[in-house]
Every structure is written in structure tokens, then in C-alpha cells.
Structure 1
Amino acid sequence: MGSPGSGKSTLAARYPSTWCLNLDTYRALVADDETDQSATPVAVQIQDLLLDARLARGLTTIVDSTNLRVAARAGLLARAAHWERPVVAVLFDVPLATVEAQNAGRDRVVRTHIVRKFHRLLPTVGQLHDEGWPTVHLASTLTRPTP
């Protein structure tokens, strides 16, 4: 969970690609443009279909998207509960200045006002626990992947 440019995809890339569900990828498949927000509803349907398929098989899955809206996080929790799978949140607690610098260096730069808007939506660890996330890791404390 984090704003654009916070390092979510960079961290996800450290794991097997089959583990990673990336909403940008599904937008690109739907609209030939991963930034086309009008493709998001269908991209979410694709993500949910793949998430259900992986959870049904008990496979480790990384949902690589901002997940900064409470409803999006609630949907993830509901799917995990339905399939009786554990969940772990990774909160990208990256300072705004760092996020803006990282975003500026990306191939696909997100507009600054969007990055700032999303950064303001960043939940706290306490909020995530209150929503039902039993385990929350701060990205700033992660040093290496564990399979």
C-alpha cells in the first residue's frame, strides 16, 4: 500500500513474477495504456479473477497496486477471508519528497498532484489494524524477500 513512485513494484519485482498481480499491467492489457484510468474497472475485474484463482490454490500472491482506498483494502480482506488465507500488508512509509523524486525518475511519471493526493491517503499502521489487517510491515524496515 503506497502512493505511485513509493517502490511497490520495485519490491514486488524481487519475488517470482507469477506471485505478482499488477493493476497497471491489466490496464495496459485492456487499453494499451497502463495510465488509462477509464480501464480501471475492467482491470480490477481481471485482478480479482486472478486473485481468486491463486487464493483458491493457496498460492502466495502479491497485489501490486496502491490500495489506498479503504474499499479496495476491504475487498482484499474479504477475498482472503472467503478463501481462508492469511493476509499481510506492506505499508510504503516513504516521505513525500522521496516519492516525488522516485516518481520523476520513472519511465511512466504520474502527475505531481496525483502523487500528492495519493500520499495523503496513506493509512497508518493503527488504521490498518483497525480495518482487520493482522500483520503490517513498513517497507522501510524490509531488507530482503522471504519466499
Structure 2
Amino acid sequence: MADPVLTARRAISVPADALVLLVGAAGSGKSTFARRHFPDEASVSSDRFRGLLTGNEADQRVSQAAFELLHQAIGSRLEAGLLTVVDATNLDLLSRATPLDRARRSRRPALAIVFALPAEVCLRRNRTRPRVVRPAVVRRQSASLRHIRTDLEGEGYAAIHIFGSESDIQSAVVLLTPASELSEPARPPA
């Protein structure tokens, strides 16, 4: 018999050795989702590496160095067979390419969880954050999600999950599954 709690919620199966790319605009809830559903040590973040380098997670001057460290951490975790959740906007192919390549080389599955919330929701949430992103940037990021499913489908993910509302996010349940249950690693782009 199915668990009634899970049937009322959206279950997302995540292999314990997977790469999980969180994709979405600033203020869409990626970091909150990562904190709620994944072990803290599994989450790697460009903001966190900026903070480690300068003491300020919003310091864009060190973005290149922060992303180099992020990619190194992604590769090391995947090589070790560890769950790796990438908490960054990941809005374009270039930002997703290196993590996906690391997953392929490590023969690990890649999943995308997309936070495609309306710009108004992201803007409202953004105003309550400690580090406010300029509204024009949030609008541009939100607009870039219009064709995200089509973009992601050709990149080789084992699964793509798209949240279109706050209730979608709140009803999600992440189920960590053994690494051996996945049938194939990330595939090269079509």
C-alpha cells in the first residue's frame, strides 16, 4: 500500500552519489530547499566560496576564483561517490557544463531541480534576504527560465524536476536512494 503522505507530496528520488543542480533566479528558494532536504556537507555553493575568499558572499570580484573552487569541490565529491548539490543560479549552459562534465567523468547521475517561480515571488523573497540582488537582475534571471525544460532536456540529465509555484516546493519530498539503484550516469548532450 502506498504511503499516503508521499502520495500527497511530490517525491523526488535522488541517488546517494548524484550531482544535483539547483536551477533558478535569486530569491527562488534554492538555498532554503537545499538546507531542508539535503545534508549540509552535500551542498556546495558559489556564494559560500565567495564568502570563504573574502568574508562577503556577495563579493562578485572573486567570482572566477569562487567558481574554480566550486568546480574542484564538485569533482572531488563526485569522484568519491558523494552526493553533491550545487546551489547556484545555474541558469545557462555554460554554468551547467563543467558540473555535468564532472558527473560524466565520474560516472555519476545528474539531476536538475528547477525553481521556475514567477518573478514577483522571487522579487518579494529577495527583499527579505540579507543579500539583496538588484530587481532588474532577478527579473532577467526569471525571464531566462522560459525555455528551461527544452534547454535541459538535451543536456543528459537522469531526471529533471521543475517547480512552478511555492506550493510545488513545499510539497516536495526528497528520497535519497542507494547509488546502485540508478541505471546510468549523466549522458553527453544530444
Report the TM-score when normalising by structure 2: 0.73
- CA separation in 1, counterparts of 2:53 and 2:143? 28
- CA separation in 2, counterparts of 1:131 and 1:56? 20
Match for 1:144 among 154, 162, 173? 173
Kindly indicate whether residue 139 of structure 2 is the aligned counterpart of residue 100 of structure 1: no
Q: Cα distance, 1:131 vs. partner?
A: 2.5
Cα deviation code 1:122-146 (max 9, x no counterpart): 2421220022223100134451222
Structure whose residues are more often helix by fraction: 1
RMSD: 1.3
- CA separation in 2, counterparts of 1:139 and 1:22? 20
Kindly indicate whether residue 83 of structure 2 is the aligned counterpart of residue 60 of structure 1: yes
Instruction: In structure 2, list runs of 5 or more residues that go unmatched.
Output: 1-22, 177-190
Report the residue type matching 1:138 in the other structure: I
Kindly indicate whether residue 148 of structure 2 is the aligned counterpart of residue 119 of structure 1: no
Partner of 1:6: 28
Q: How many residues align?
A: 147
Q: Percent identity?
A: 34
Q: Write out aligned runs for 1:30-109 (5 A).
A: 30-109=53-132
8 Å Cα contact 2:116/2:142 also seen in 1: no
Report the TM-score when normalising by structure 1: 0.94
- CA separation in 2, counterparts of 1:117 and 1:36? 20
Query: Which has more radius of gyration?
Result: 2
Instruction: In structure 1, list runs of 5 or more residues that go unmatched.
Output: none
8 Å Cα contact 1:129/1:135 also seen in 2: no
